[in-house]
Amino acid sequence: MTSNDRELILTRLIDAPRALLFRCWTEPDLIKRWFVPAPWTIAHAEVDLRPGGRSLIVMRDPDGNEFPNPGIYLEVVKDEKLVFTDAYVSAWQPSEKPFMTGIVTFEDEGGKTRYTARALHWNEEDRKTHEEMGFHEGWGKCADQLAALAATL
């Protein structure tokens, strides 16, 4: 899939209903089971699912170091679309560094779900950094974990 110079995109056809994938993205107990590539884990997940609502996901590396990722939701369309950003730590306190806006969509496609995750950046440098941090591998591995989890629900 093409992406512009400030955007990264990952898309997959997943054999699960939209509503189930949306739940995996928005319910803390489910988020913990797939949202970071193993062997990292999610130590904590908080979701206030509404525009301006806070999201806090704390990732933990194999040594036990924790990495909090605070952000807010900008748009919530149940079972269809989620938009969130790290540009704010709460509504509407700017973060130290606006890095990305995530747009995740879930669409019906031949009895499965077209899952698309886009990361939009404020400049080309941040996009490049994100790509070098392993966007495609990381989000790809997470998408595998998401599909595997959905298959068990």
The residues that touch a copy of itself, with contacts defined as CB under 8 A, are 6, 51-52, 74-75, 83, 85, 87-88, 91-98, 101, 103, 120-123
Q: Which is nearer to a copy of itself, 87 or 147 (CB)?
A: 87
The arrangement of strands across the sheet holding 54-60 comes to 7-14, 112-121, 100-109, 81-85, 66-77, 54-60, 41-47
Q: Which is nearer to a copy of itself, 53 or 138 (CB)?
A: 53
> What type of residue sits at position 59?
M
Number of neighbours of residue 48 by Cβ within 10 angstroms: 13
Query: Minimum distance between the CB of residue 32 and a copy of itself, rounded to whole angstroms?
Result: 26
Across the chain, the runs of DSSP E, i.e. the strands, are 7-14, 41-47, 54-60, 66-77, 81-85, 88-90, 93-94, 100-109, 112-121
Measured CA to CA, the distance from residue 34 to residue 131 in angstroms comes to: 20
Query: Minimum distance between the CB of residue 97 and a copy of itself, rounded to whole angstroms?
Result: 7
Q: Which is nearer to a copy of itself, 48 or 61 (CB)?
A: 48
Query: Minimum distance between the CB of residue 120 and a copy of itself, rounded to whole angstroms?
Result: 5
Query: Minimum distance between the CB of residue 111 and a copy of itself, rounded to whole angstroms?
Result: 29
Q: Which is nearer to a copy of itself, 126 or 144 (CB)?
A: 126
